[in-house]
Structure 1
């Protein structure tokens, strides 16, 4: 890895690709270089046949407590346009493998946007979420207004975006933002258990299910159904489909190969 790799830690264990945000002294505040490293690691895991699922987590007291204000303070409109800093963020959308986020402490601003890029979220019961950008005279720019609104609806999203207030992990669960709440000391263990369960499923099924669900969010029902059917038919060309059905019939555990 290059010198900038100190912003994250990566590892692969039992089919799980792990990315840990590693700027604990600044509560894992996200700068442009860190985003680039996160996306690069995700794309490498996406191409690695030994990785079945990706886990994204923070270290220290926060998942990520927002963007790095020092990096943006003196920027002007033209500099931001030329920097095109959100290009890397957009690439996360194209990662085919499931991404599980584990949120402890704060997930604020850009940190919350990063969490919303995950396909599933587990949170410590003392975690806090929010978009404080309005109090800085700006607004979310990496998908926060869009993803939050799609998840919790216009009026709920307006409340949190316009006030900049934080909401609790329990509220995030009630809104359907997170899948489950856990004691902080069990968050990592339970996240890895979930990742292991998913990693044992046939990779092609995981890939096409994720694709179909993402289309369900953005497309009309008829178009989403069409995409689902195409993916359903495609899987009948895989060896894993034959293995899965034969194993079911023979009452044995399937051995999936990802082909």
Structure 2
């Protein structure tokens, strides 16, 4: 006699917590946990890392825009998930799969609402920042016995004057979007709800330029950070040799001579 089997209930896959949308040559990446103010748990970190891989792998995509759903950029680390043992980091890529990564393509943060703790650190890991005037940038970790270890303590003094960075780091008090613009933390400041639209415009402007040159700019800037000038120039010379041999340099010069827009191939 056969043993009856218990029917299994099919499991429904969890909905994505990071959404992507291709808009022209830009990949719009949206953290999508509005009920948790887009706090970063293990799933967000994994899906954000995957979205960045998509951006890097597709030659038709020239830039990325990172934002959050529901009027909030990100409240940082999901503390409830952390207490359950989840890690918001990806090995070799840091918090959210981004803060220690080195994306080759330009990445723009479009910040609405809160960008606190790790959320602020995600914005600091981007190349450009567009902020709504009511955005709130803050690193409150010292009030919890911690430090902003996802790049905040390291990057913030590199972005703005030492004493201003230390005020934000030592008090934990946030700065709004207008203050972020005054400090030089935000490239553009918009009205409420306008950050993504402005960031997409900025991304398309960046994407008009040669992709190899854009990647080279990022590489040189990273290599020159804290390096002696001689080392930085030596690294730059190596990249320049590669660029000068590329099809895109010839195309850029030809397009200039013919008074037409260049047609980049990334080769």
Global fold match (TM > 0.5): yes
For the residues of structure 2 that align with 1:242 and 1:147, how far apart are their CA atoms? 36
State yes or no: 1:144 paired with 2:152.
yes
Q: How does 1:181-192 map to 2 (within 5 A)?
A: 181-192=189-200
Q: Give 1:74 deviation, angstroms.
A: 6.2
Q: Give 1:207 deviation, angstroms.
A: 0.8
Q: Give 1:104 deviation, angstroms.
A: 0.6
Q: SS in structure 1 opposite 2:232?
A: helix
State yes or no: 1:49 paired with 2:59.
yes
Match for residue 100 of structure 1 among 108, 114, 128: 108
Match for residue 168 of structure 1 among 176, 184, 208: 176
Q: Which has the larger radius of gyration?
A: 2
Q: SS in structure 2 opposite 1:63?
A: coil
Matched with 1:205 is 213
Aligned 8 A contact 2:37 2:74 in 1: yes
Q: Give 1:216 deviation, angstroms.
A: 2.7
Matched with 1:258 is 266
Q: How does 1:1-259 map to 2 (within 5 A)?
A: 3=13, 6-73=16-83, 87-89=92-94, 92=98, 93-259=101-267
Structure 1 pair 187–74 and aligned structure 2 pair: CA distance change class (3 A): closer
**Runs of 4+ residues deviating >6 angstroms:** none
Q: TM-score, normalised by structure 2?
A: 0.87
Alpha-carbon RMSD: 2.1
CA-to-aligned-CA distance 1:35-83 (integer Å, 9 cap, x gap): 12111210121011111111111111210012111122366xxx97xx9
The total of aligned residue pairs comes to 253
The structure with more helix, counted as a fraction of residues: 1
For the residues of structure 1 that align with 2:13 and 2:231, how far apart are their CA atoms? 45
Structure 1: 5+ residue stretches without partners: none
Structure 1 pair 115–6 and aligned structure 2 pair: CA distance change class (3 A): same
Q: SS in structure 1 opposite 2:234?
A: helix
For the residues of structure 1 that align with 2:79 and 2:130, how far apart are their CA atoms? 27
CA-to-aligned-CA distance 1:191-221 (integer Å, 9 cap, x gap): 1111111222211111111111222324222
